[in-house]
Structure 1
Amino acid sequence: MSNEIPIGLAKNGRRAWALDDVAIVPNRRTRSPQDVSLDWRIDAYSFTMPVIGAPMDSVMSPATAIELGRQGGLGVLNLEGLWTRYEDPEPVLAEIAALGADEVSAENTRRLQQLYSEPIRAELITARLAEIREAGVVVSGSLTPQRTQEFYRTVIEAGVDMFVIRGTTVSAEHVAQNGDPLNLKEFIYELDVPVIVGGAAGYTPALHLMRTGAAGVLVGFGGGAATTTRRAMGIRVPMATAISDIAAARRDYLDESGGRYVHVIADGGMGSSGDLVKALAMGADAVMLGTTLARAEEAPGRGWHWGLEAVHPDFPRGHRTRVGTVAPLQEVLWGPAHHTDGSSNLMGGLRHAMASTGYVDLKSFQRVDAIVSPMGQQTR
């Protein structure tokens, strides 16, 4: 049955749902939260929660990547960010936090572009990744497709455990008129580390990315609360539908490949523990968090949040947005919570949701019953 609806005489559109439009339903016997496992494993690496820190300068520094690793998640450092452009980025981060309060001012954007115009230094990539490795946690860094060819050898030689290629939208072959195309299948085949790639928003592009040999596919366009991609480019990803579509691609690729499982990782649009719960219920194996972790006391953004989209030299499509500070990172992740809005004890929220619906592990939780309840129809 088609879910397309007419937009006009010449165009139909698919009906799609955001995470705010869906909810999970407890239709089984309940469990004790103590019986619930949040363990997640990708390739050779095991974690005690399905959380990846978004490679954004307001979220992940070497120190916060280390702390997230110690808390049981995976921190991914932005290798095109301030930590690889400046020997000491702390004064720059302080300046960004002190910019004018108007989130969308041209003056703020211009200053961000200037600060990010400093060149990326290969030796700083090596030094930052070495700092994370010395702490004994899983080491991961991120590049955009445009920068991958230039710096990936530096990243691999630095001893990265997992490599992330993250952009607004990533295809199996990134074509550039003035440079060699990035053929992900050939590229990933040559690497000795698992690669996570994205964003992808639909079944077909995700299936193509799975065929490259990627260990995981990011669902969404990143940026989260700080992105203005919808206004600047007319592109939007209703995450509930996108995750479900790409989970279907994972299922079909599992059959096509004879048993190779590719992880689906929801990336963006999850500002609370409830959003995280629903992303996993729609079929995600893990989540990449930006806004929720940017609220931690240790976050380098000092209560502000922005991504690479906000500092593009020619076409910025994001802004520095105020997210505030709620608690130390451990409390944000594991509690105890002192907030009633799902901004802290994210794993407690997930654990209680799984227990209330009768599931004790993440994979089985993907089978939870769901309903569609659009925002305009929801009641508290």
Structure 2
Amino acid sequence: MSNEIEIGRGKRGRRAFSLDDVSVVPARRTRDPEDVNLSWQIDAFTFDMPVIGAPMDSVMSPDTAIALGRLGGLGVLNLEGLWTRHEDPTSLLEEIASLPDEPGSPEVTRRLQEIYSAPIRAELITERLNRIRESGVVVAGSLTPQRTQEFYRTVVEAGVDLFVIRGTTVSAEHVSTAKEPLDLKKFIYELDVPVIVGGAAGYTPALHLMRTGAAGVLVGFGGGASSTTRRALGIRVPMATAVSDIAEARRDYMDESGGRYVHVIADGGLGTSGDIVKAIAMGADAVMLGATLARATDAPGGGWHWGGEAAHPVLPRGHRTRVGQAAPLEELLWGPGRQTDGTTNLMGALKAAMATSGYTELKDFQKVEVIVNPAVGA
């Protein structure tokens, strides 16, 4: 059955669904939440929960990456952020949090651009990653495709366990007449560490990323709380459809490759525990959380959230967003919850949803029945 609709005589488009458009259907059999197993493994690394901290300065510092690792998740440090540009960015983080509360303010954007104009220092990349390694948790750092060739040797030599290549969109084949592009397949083949790469928002680009040898693919484009990509570029793919499409690419790639499994990681637009539940129900193996974790009282953003796009020197596509402070990171993830809106005890809510639907394992929960909900946002 075709999902295309006619937009006008000259253009047809495929119908796509956001996470708000779908709901999980409870099953005949229920389980005890205590029997639900949330552990997740990628390559040789096993985690107690399928949560990755987004590499954004408002979410992850070396200390919060360590804290998230000790709580059973994976913290990814932004290796192009304040922690690798400034010796001690604490005062700058405080300044960003104290800037005027004016969404989209040119003055705020200009100040962010000034702060992020400081050069990235290779020795600070090494220092920050070493600090995380000394804590005993899994070490992960992120670069954009544009910076990967410049700094990846520094990252690998620092002893990173997982390497993340994250951008607004990442393709397996980038064509440029101005400079030599990053050859992802060759690059990943030559590395000694597993690579997570994205974002991708469709079946075909995700399948090509899987063929590069990536261990995981980030799913998402233009849907995060701090992103204005949809307004600036007119590009956005609703998350429910994107995850489902890329989960199908994962299945087809398993057949093509003789059983190689590539993890699908939903990245962006996951503001509540219900969004996390539905992302996994649509086929995600794990979720990368930004604004959701920026609400922690011990997050570096101080109740504010922003991404690197907000400080782009030429075409800023994001803003600093007030997300508030809900609870310490541990309570935010594991409870006890104090809020009733799905912003705390995220893993408790995931366990409850899986138990109510009759599932105890994450991979099995990807098979749960879902419906399209006509009451958007319900």
Does 1:113 pair with 2:109? no
User: Using the alignment, how far apart are the partners of 2:126 and 2:27 within structure 1?
Assistant: 50
* Equivalent in the alignment of 2:146: 146
Runs of 4 or more consecutive aligned structure 1 residues displaced over 6 Å after TM superposition = none
* Equivalent in the alignment of 1:33: 33
Counterpart residue identity of residue 127, structure 1:
E
Does 1:206 pair with 2:182? no
Match runs of 1:1-380 below 5 Å = 1-221=1-221, 224-376=224-376
Question: 1:23 is paired with a residue of what secondary structure?
Answer: strand
Contact 2:331 2:345 in 1 (8 A): yes
Per-residue CA deviations over 1:245-299 (Å, capped at 9, x if unaligned) read 0000000000000000000000000000000000000000000000110000111
User: How far apart are 1:375 and its partner, in Å?
Assistant: 4.2
User: How far apart are 1:82 and its partner, in Å?
Assistant: 0.2
Matched pairs, number: 378
Contact 1:223 1:307 in 2 (8 A): no
Counterpart residue identity of residue 251, structure 2:
R
Range moving further from structure 2, 169-178 or 13-22 = 169-178
Counterpart residue identity of residue 114, structure 1:
E
Counterpart residue identity of residue 327, structure 1:
A
Contact 2:222 2:237 in 1 (8 A): no
User: How far apart are 1:362 and its partner, in Å?
Assistant: 0.1
User: Using the alignment, how far apart are the partners of 1:133 and 1:222 within structure 2?
Assistant: 32
Distance 1:158 1:223, change over 3 A: farther
User: Using the alignment, how far apart are the partners of 1:122 and 1:77 within structure 2?
Assistant: 14
Unaligned regions of 5+ residues in structure 1, if any?
none
User: Using the alignment, how far apart are the partners of 2:276 and 2:306 within structure 1?
Assistant: 20
User: How far apart are 1:181 and its partner, in Å?
Assistant: 1.2
User: Using the alignment, how far apart are the partners of 2:177 and 2:103 within structure 1?
Assistant: 35
Contact 1:145 1:174 in 2 (8 A): no
User: Using the alignment, how far apart are the partners of 2:113 and 2:334 within structure 1?
Assistant: 36
Per-residue CA deviations over 1:195-238 (Å, capped at 9, x if unaligned) read 00000000000000000000000000267100000000001120
Unaligned regions of 5+ residues in structure 2, if any?
none
Distance 1:310 1:375, change over 3 A: farther
Question: 1:64 is paired with a residue of what secondary structure?
Answer: helix
Question: 1:236 is paired with a residue of what secondary structure?
Answer: coil
Contact 1:332 1:345 in 2 (8 A): yes
User: Using the alignment, how far apart are the partners of 1:106 and 1:230 within structure 2?
Assistant: 19
Identity of aligned residues (%): 75
Contact 2:173 2:183 in 1 (8 A): yes
User: Using the alignment, how far apart are the partners of 2:319 and 2:374 within structure 1?
Assistant: 27
Question: 2:8 is paired with a residue of what secondary structure?
Answer: coil
User: Using the alignment, how far apart are the partners of 2:104 and 2:86 within structure 1?
Assistant: 25
Question: 2:24 is paired with a residue of what secondary structure?
Answer: strand
Contact 1:20 1:374 in 2 (8 A): no
User: Using the alignment, how far apart are the partners of 1:145 and 1:229 within structure 2?
Assistant: 18
User: Using the alignment, how far apart are the partners of 1:231 and 1:161 within structure 2?
Assistant: 36
User: Using the alignment, how far apart are the partners of 1:306 and 1:223 within structure 2?
Assistant: 13
User: Using the alignment, how far apart are the partners of 1:347 and 1:366 within structure 2?
Assistant: 16
TM-score by length of 2: 0.99
Counterpart residue identity of residue 71, structure 2:
Q
Distance 1:228 1:83, change over 3 A: same
TM-score by length of 1: 0.98
Question: 1:225 is paired with a residue of what secondary structure?
Answer: coil
Question: 2:225 is paired with a residue of what secondary structure?
Answer: helix
Question: 2:65 is paired with a residue of what secondary structure?
Answer: helix
Question: 2:164 is paired with a residue of what secondary structure?
Answer: strand
Question: 2:354 is paired with a residue of what secondary structure?
Answer: helix
User: How far apart are 1:103 and its partner, in Å?
Assistant: 1.8
Contact 2:277 2:350 in 1 (8 A): yes
User: Using the alignment, how far apart are the partners of 2:266 and 2:23 within structure 1?
Assistant: 16
Question: 1:243 is paired with a residue of what secondary structure?
Answer: helix
Question: 1:224 is paired with a residue of what secondary structure?
Answer: coil
Counterpart residue identity of residue 47, structure 1:
F
Distance 1:176 1:82, change over 3 A: farther
User: How far apart are 1:244 and its partner, in Å?
Assistant: 0.1
Per-residue CA deviations over 1:300-347 (Å, capped at 9, x if unaligned) read 000000001101100001000000001000000000001000000000
Per-residue CA deviations over 1:76-111 (Å, capped at 9, x if unaligned) read 000000000000000100110000010210000000
Question: 2:204 is paired with a residue of what secondary structure?
Answer: helix
Question: 2:41 is paired with a residue of what secondary structure?
Answer: strand
User: Using the alignment, how far apart are the partners of 1:151 and 1:136 within structure 2?
Assistant: 23
User: Using the alignment, how far apart are the partners of 1:272 and 1:303 within structure 2?
Assistant: 16
